[in-house]
């Protein structure tokens, strides 16, 4: 299959970004390193999965890139309201689940899709799932994302934040899975601008997350803190298996299941009718799982 210069530029970027992010995360982790797994997709393409597990800071995490191509599955073509044709897609997806409930889980995805008829689009997003009400951390994260978006497309952060609040909303729970971030999809027509946006968001990941990790990972926490984290991870699982577009796309295009489901946490609890203790910091945290202005 012949790839456009645009596709090759995005592919080169995510390769470099994966290296940079893994190195940054390993700089704060003394107990584990990323293990690499190269995989091939029978229909065309493949990916490079990097997983870290059982560290002192990170319980489980993955920073994965994929570049797949071939004939579009009927289910995807039907959803996109087009005839099945050749496509190419590449992107980076990461999820990091720390050990400490004082450190948030984080997710990011940047992606590019093109079809043989010349149509293309970008998508991406990043969101934070904390388990303890540290407003300073939430404001820092959103401020970095606001700068990343607005320096490329002025005034875009507000729209992307709202899309994120809406997208990561667990409808059957009437709550967000975390405190949001930014989300955008189907950005087309202007390759240079939208590629610059994707790069700005990807380049801002370490700035948005590592200061929080460095500040919190050695803080003491209680059994109640850990319980809250494990229960809230259950919400994370619910969202990813029911609503997440990336998960559904990967499974429908015969992606590598282990790489797709690396987003799920190692340890999680589903407890019947569980609620945090009245007056606790965990009860206070529940109020943050609704849309809120941060910066």
List the alpha helices (DSSP H) in 63-153. Answer: 74-80, 135-150
- Residue 265 and residue 51 in contact, taking contact as beta carbons nearer than 8 Å: no
Active-site residue 194, yes or no?
A: no
Q: How many CB atoms lie within 10 A of CB 217?
A: 17
**Confidence check: pLDDT of 77 > 90:** no
Q: Where are the alpha helices (DSSP H) in the chain?
A: 5-26, 74-80, 135-150, 156-167, 191-203, 205-216, 223-242, 245-252, 257-260, 281-286
The pLDDT of residue 86: 87
Residue 100 clears pLDDT 80, i.e. is over it: yes
Q: What is the pLDDT of residues 173-227, one digit of tens each?
A: 999 999 999 999 999 989 999 999 999 999 999 999 999 999 999 999 999 999 9
pLDDT band at 80 (very low <50, low <70, confident <90, very high): low
According to the model, what pLDDT value does residue 235 have?
A: 95
* Cβ partners under 8 Å of residue 216, min gap 6: 100, 102, 103, 134, 137
Please give the Cα distance from 155 to 204 (Å, whole number): 17
- pLDDT per residue over 105-154, tens digit each? 999 999 999 998 889 999 999 999 999 999 999 999 999 999 999 999 99
Q: Tell me the average pLDDT of the chain.
A: 94
Distance in angstroms (rounded) separating the CA atoms of residues 60 and 264 = 9
- Report the pLDDT averaged over residues 58-77: 88
Residue 282, sorted as left (phi over 0), alpha (psi -120 to 50) or beta, turns out to be alpha
Q: What is the pLDDT of residue 252?
A: 79
Residues 225-252: tens digit of each pLDDT: 999 999 999 999 999 999 988 888 788 7
Buried residues in 17-56 as b, exposed as e (16+ CB within 10 A): bbeebbebbbebbeebebeeeeeebeeebbbbbbbbbebe
pLDDT of residue 83: 76
List pLDDT tens digits, range 6-52. 999 999 999 999 999 999 999 999 999 999 999 999 889 999 999 99
Q: Quick: pLDDT tens for 263-290.
A: 899 999 999 999 999 999 999 999 999 9
Measured CA distances, 253 to 68, 171, 240 (Å):
9, 26, 17
CB–CB of 19/36 below 8 Å?
A: no
At 74, is the secondary structure helix, strand, or coil? helix
What is the pLDDT at residue 81? 66
Give yes or no for residue 73 having a pLDDT over 80: no
From 107, 142, 187, 282, the catalytic residue = 107
Provide the percentage of residues in the chain whose pLDDT is more than 70: 98
Q: Long-range contacts: 202-205, Cβ < 8 Å, 24+?
A: 202/13, 202/14, 202/17, 202/92, 202/108, 202/110, 202/124, 203/17, 203/148, 204/144, 204/145, 204/147, 204/148, 205/21, 205/94, 205/108, 205/126
CA distance 144 to 208: 6
Cα 58 from Cα 45, distance rounded (Å): 30
What does the pLDDT read at residue 79?
Answer: 66
| Alpha-carbon separation of residue 158 from 71, 92, 149, 202 (angstroms) | 36, 24, 9, 18
What is the reported pLDDT for 82? 76
Contact 224, 142 (CB under 8 A): no
DSSP state, 97?
Answer: E
Q: Is the pLDDT of residue 60 over 70?
A: yes
**Whole-angstrom distance, CA of residue 293 vs CA of residue 295:** 6
Q: How far is CA 195 from the centre of its chain?
A: 18
| pLDDT value of position 250 | 81
């Amino acid at each position: 299959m012949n790839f456009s210069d645009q596709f090759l530029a995005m592919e080169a970027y995510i390769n470099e970004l994966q290296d940079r992010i893994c190195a940054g995360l390993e700089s704060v982790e003394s107990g584990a390193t990323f293990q690499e797994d190269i995989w091939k997709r029978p229909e065309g393409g493949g990916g490079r999965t990097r997983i870290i597990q059982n560290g002192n800071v990170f319980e489980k995490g993955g920073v994965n890139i994929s570049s797949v191509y071939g004939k579009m599955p009927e289910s995807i073509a039907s959803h996109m309201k087009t005839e099945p044709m050749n496509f190419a897609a590449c992107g980076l997806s990461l999820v990091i689940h720390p050990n400490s409930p004082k450190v948030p889980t984080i997710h990011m995805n940047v992606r590019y899709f093109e079809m043989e008829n010349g149509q293309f689009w970008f998508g991406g997003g990043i969101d934070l799932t904390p388990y303890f009400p540290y407003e300073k951390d939430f404001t820092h994260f959103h401020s970095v994302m606001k700068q990343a978006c607005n320096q490329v497309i002025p005034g875009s952060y507000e729209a992307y934040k709202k899309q994120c609040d809406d997208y990561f909303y667990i409808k059957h729970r009437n709550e967000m899975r975390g405190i949001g971030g930014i989300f955008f999809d189907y950005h087309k027509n202007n390759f240079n601008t939208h590629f610059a946006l994707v790069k700005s968001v990807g380049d801002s990941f370490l700035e948005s997350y590592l200061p929080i990790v460095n500040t919190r990972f050695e803080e003491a926490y209680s059994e109640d803190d850990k319980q809250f984290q494990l229960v809230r991870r259950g919400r994370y699982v619910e969202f990813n298996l029911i609503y997440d577009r990336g998960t559904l796309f990967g499974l429908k295009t015969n992606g590598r299941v282990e790489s797709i489901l690396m987003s799920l946490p190692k340890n999680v609890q589903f407890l019947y009718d569980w609620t945090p203790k009245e007056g606790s910091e965990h009860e206070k945290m529940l109020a943050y799982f609704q849309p809120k202005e941060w910066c």
